[in-house]
Structure 1
Amino acid sequence: MELTDKELVEGCLKNDRKAQKALYDKYSAMLFGVCLRYARNRQDAEDIFQESFVKAYGQLNKYSHSGVLAGWLRRLFINNALNYYRYDKSYLCSTDVESYDVGKETLNVDNYSTEEIIKAIEQLPDECRTVFNMVEIEGYSYQELSQMWNANQNTLRGFNFKAKRMLREYFEKMDKRRY
């Protein structure tokens, strides 16, 4: 019988190794995917993943049970991934992208495998990939990101627009190679 999230948290708080393993087994694949989206490479993703799980076990007493455990863990892992690069000035730089027209840019990726999409996203510049992940995949608003990073919302929109444009160009090249 699978333990509920509440039982997993309670067990982990009592340092129950079975509960810790069950929590890891239940959420590790999803959370490693989060780390891969925010890391520059697989090695960094593995480091972020390990550090984040250690931090999660240490902070489970702060989980209020008012929200979904998966969401609480995802947010902790995202924050840890962002903090991993915080002092690296090249990660989220202040490149002037406000000159881009940030109108509606849509992508149709229905004809591509998940692996192809992930590979394309991994090739984006760090700042574009991060903003794209936060807005398009995690669902953050530009206002939330602006407050989180003390960054201009238009700059963040520009990074996201640039990411979408680069992805569109990447997939257009793939289409030409396919046909």
Structure 2
Amino acid sequence: MSVALAYNNVSVKTDELQELIEGCIRNERSAQAKIYHLFYPRMMSMVKRYFPEQVNAEEILNNGFLRAFQKMSTFSFKGSFEGWLRRIIFHAIADYASSNIKYKQSIVLAEKDEFVHKDHANQLYYNDLLKLIQELPEATRVVFNMFVLDDMPHKHIAKTLGISEGTSKWHVSEARRMLKEKVEQQNLHLKK
């Protein structure tokens, strides 16, 4: 029994996906184009969590797909192709972040877990929260997304971005503080 993938009115079965991957290994442009269109929406969604501006997101995503096409022969057909592709795209995000954002702060603070009041958080709409996260300063947003949304430990974030663990913790603490203020200012907990 083959499993089908469907994205943007394009669907492909597992054996067809394997043929497309093999076509990419042979550097066939049509196979690359189909893989790109199949996985573009989900990969772009992942990139935009970190870099919501379309121009930056497109650059990062295209660099990620280029890397994937160059490394396609390393995919062993064991496990999920989408998971393999996500890891490559994530590395493109991390590389962009470490080379384009000024993380090199020497601030070392203990992380403070200040939470939004329970009533506020319970009623907060997911999309509202994502919009607030996108308004965070770029460096803080990237570290916050890695820590909270991708569940990465501070040690891994620090190594990936070339910062100290203390700086990573500071960015998460700062993001939480800023998000708490924004939630309370906008009274998002009152939406029905």
The alpha-carbon deviation at position 163 of structure 1 amounts to: 0.8
CA distance in 1, matches of 2:32, 2:122: 37
Q: 1:93 aligns to what SS in structure 2?
A: coil
Q: Deviations over 1:83-108 (max 9, x none)?
A: 22433352x23151x33x42434453
Q: 2:13 aligns to what SS in structure 1?
A: coil
Q: Structure 1: any 5+ residue segments left out of the alignment?
A: none
Higher strand proportion (structure 1 or 2): 2
The alpha-carbon deviation at position 23 of structure 1 amounts to: 1.9
CA RMSD of aligned residues (A): 2.7
Say yes or no: does 1:72 pair with 2:84. yes
Q: How is 1:14-25 mapped onto 2 (pairs within 5 angstroms)? A: 14-25=26-37
Larger radius of gyration: 2
Say yes or no: does 1:111 pair with 2:124. yes
How many percent of aligned residue pairs carry the same amino acid? 25
Say yes or no: does 1:136 pair with 2:145. no
Give the AA of the match of 2:173.
Answer: F
The change in CA–CA distance for 1:25 and 1:110 in structure 2 (over 3 A counts) is farther
Give the AA of the match of 2:13.
Answer: L
Q: How is 1:157-176 mapped onto 2 (pairs within 5 angstroms)? A: 157-175=169-187
Give the AA of the match of 2:140.
Answer: C
CA distance in 2, matches of 1:81, 1:33: 12
Aligned to 1:32: 44
Q: TM-score, normalised by structure 1?
A: 0.81
Aligned to 1:148: 160
Q: Deviations over 1:137-166 (max 9, x none)?
A: 122111212232343222211211111121
CA distance in 1, matches of 2:20, 2:170: 41
CA distance in 1, matches of 2:105, 2:20: 42
